[in-house]
Amino acid sequence: MIKFDNVSVSFTNKKGQIVDAVKNVSFNVNDGEILGIVGTSGAGKSTLLRTVNQLQLPTGGHTIVDGKDIGSLSGKSLAKFRHSIGMIFQQFNLVSTKTVAQNVAFAMEIAGHSKEEIKRRVPELLSLVGLSDRADVYPSTLSGGQKQRVAIARAVANNPKILLCDEATSALDPETTNDVLQLLEVINIKFGITIVLITHEFDVVKKICHRVAVMNKGELVEIGDVSDVFTKPQHEFTKTLLSHTFDLDLPGRLTEDKSKPLVKIIYNGEKAENAIVSNVVKLYDVDVNILHGKIEYINDKPFGILIVQLIGKQDDIYNSLDYLSNNTYRTEVINERD
């Protein structure tokens, strides 16, 4: 659907320095998928996304949509192409002088739909996003979540093939974020719209993305299925990003006490459901003291971390560690004696 082919974008900033915002990025976005792009601030996520509808021209390489090089489009053909791409933003960007219904109608007017067609479709769209009763109010009277719903209705008004979301939930509280994400998922499934979604929250990725691309300093450092990237991050940067999501902070006195091993057990996929910890207790003469833990479900597959303290005789502890290593995704002792 979308093919980034060696895309680079550089800017000259106000001081006259050249900023390489995107550097030789190549990857594909598949038809019908929800792809997340994550990365720290300034990683070039927005800039890359904006090459998809030529809000930004690549200074090197090509962004190709449906086999068409977007950089070669201009004038009428560019306008026509843009009708087939929806976009939503962190700040919603609704026209404040138009009512909710008029905002949605605006997108259709731009695409040249007839008055009758617009009149028929706008209520449909508003009911899709659950705002039928707010059709005639102005955006300033809406909550953030409602504004984003209007923006979504507007973005899908012309039956786009692709929906671009630039931090669409970053200005919303967690509950509203969930609602908006659910709506995006519905749109993806119901209309088969391919969604590319920028976020800095792994939580968002976890909830609705199929695949995730990780960007750092303008480069693509990793791309893959969400569960793979979460459980087997290949790149140092991804690991750092993820560790913030799975930050399990223990009080210092526990990690400093080297007399009893602290073991970090990482579960991945189906293994999380096996009774591994209780097996250890039964098989070997050790006590297991659970200090911290978190299990997440990514695309229905469990992924989690457990931090335990093993108490017992040296031999038993070694055997337990062996058993854990063999039966979990990964096991490591985090307070190794130096």
Partner 1 sequence: MNETNYSELLNNLLPAFGETLEMCGIALLLAVVLGTPLGVLSYITSKHSICQNRVVNLIVGFFINVIMSTPFVILLVLLLPFTRFVVGTSIGPEAASVPLGIVAIAFYARLVEGNLHAIDKGVIEASLAMGATWFRIVTNVLLPGAFSGMIRGLTVLAVTLVGYSAMAGIVGGGGVGDLAIRFGYYRYQTDIMIITVLLLIILVQIIQTIGEKASRKVQK
Ligand X SMILES: Nc1ncnc2c1ncn2[C@@H]1O[C@H](COP(=O)(O)OP(=O)(O)OP(=O)(O)O)[C@@H](O)[C@H]1O
Q: How far is the CB of 219 from ligand X (least distance, A)?
A: 12
Q: CA-to-CA distance for 288 and 280, rounded, in angstroms? A: 8
In terms of Cβ atoms closer than 10 Å to its own Cβ (0-12, 13-18, 19+), residue 300 is exposed
- CA distance readout (Å), 156 to 21, 65, 128, 153, 160: 29, 18, 10, 5, 6
Please give the size of the binding site for Mg ion, defined by CB under 5 A.
Answer: 1
The two tokens of residue 155 are: 């973005």
Q: Using CB under 8 A, which of the segments 106-114, 202-210, 259-267, 286-294 binds partner 1?
A: 106-114
User: Residues 200 to 229: which contact ligand X by CB under 6 A?
Assistant: 200
Q: Which residue reads 């300033």 in tokens?
A: 140
Q: What is the residue type of 317? A: I
Q: CA-to-CA distance for 55 and 53, rounded, in angstroms? A: 6
User: Residues 20 to 39: which contact ligand X by CB under 6 A?
Assistant: 21, 39
Work out the widest C-alpha separation in the chain, in whole angstroms: 81
Bridge partners (DSSP) of residue 297 are 302
- CA distance readout (Å), 177 to 127, 138, 173, 239, 319: 19, 22, 6, 25, 46
Nearer residue to partner 1 within complex by CB, 96 or 259: 96
User: Residues 44 to 83: which contact partner 1 by CB under 8 A?
Assistant: 53, 55, 78-83
Of the candidate residues 26, 97, 182, 278, the single one contacting partner 1 (CB under 8 A): 97
Nearer residue to ligand X within complex by CB, 51 or 227: 51
Q: How far is the CB of 3 from partner 1 (least distance, A)?
A: 20
| Interaction pattern, residues 41-80, with ligand X; x per rule: CB under 6 A | xxxxxxx---------------------------------
Nearer residue to ligand X within complex by CB, 17 or 314: 17
The two tokens of residue 253 are: 């006195």
**Helical (H) or strand (E) element with 87:** strand 85-89
Q: Using CB under 8 A, which of the segments 104-112, 167-175, 189-197, 219-227 binds partner 1?
A: 104-112
Nearer residue to ligand X within complex by CB, 23 or 264: 23
User: According to the binding rule CB under 8 A, does residue 283 interact with partner 1?
Assistant: no
The two tokens of residue 319 are: 């055997």
Q: How far is the CB of 196 from Mg ion (least distance, A)?
A: 13
User: According to the binding rule CB under 5 A, does residue 46 interact with Mg ion?
Assistant: yes
Q: Using CB under 5 A, which of the segments 38-46, 109-117, 212-220, 242-250 binds Mg ion?
A: 38-46
Q: CA-to-CA distance for 47 and 27, rounded, in angstroms? A: 15
Closest CA to 25 of 157, 205, 221, 224: 221
Nearer residue to Mg ion within complex by CB, 46 or 146: 46
Contacts with partner 1, residue ranges (CB under 8 A):
53, 55, 78-83, 85, 87, 89, 91, 93-98, 106-107, 109-111, 138, 140, 151, 154, 158, 164
Contacts with ligand X, residue ranges (CB under 6 A):
11, 13, 19, 21, 39, 41-47, 200
